[in-house]
Structure 1
Amino acid sequence: MIISSSKPFSEILDMLADKESVFIVGCSVCAAKQHVGGEPEVEVMKSNLKDAGINVIGGVVAKAACSVRSCEAL
């Protein structure tokens, strides 16, 4: 069984404190089905990070982010 969960937003901001820019990668399989990393969640994260002053250069939802086959698409 695969379990996905969202990190608290404050923890994400702490992780990005010294980063110049970020690109968000979601997944259309497990994360999407559990509503923690599919298309809607990637868009919300992009918006929230931009509102927090983070330079978001883009985002994508991979077919299966955990699969080696997705690496070429990313």
Structure 2
Amino acid sequence: MKQFVDFVDEALKLCLERKEIYPTVGMFDSIEKQLAYLKAVLISEETDRTRLSKIVVGVYAVREFDDSDP
């Protein structure tokens, strides 16, 4: 489980870095909230799992990020 939490933490870090560079891009707010929710589920701080099916971070990644992104 720790590897998943570490992966989400890294994604959050990258998201926050992007938000600093592009503060007016609302997509990063959405991604940050979704990743924070996912982490809360993974570490059992959040028991309501109904929103898991609504996570669209992958859709953003496919549509918006360049091939050169980490």
- Bucket of the pairwise TM-score, normalised by the shorter protein: 0.3 to 0.5
TM-score by length of 1: 0.31
Relative to its length, the structure with more helix (as a share) is: 2
Relative to its length, the structure with more strand (as a share) is: 1
TM-score by length of 2: 0.32
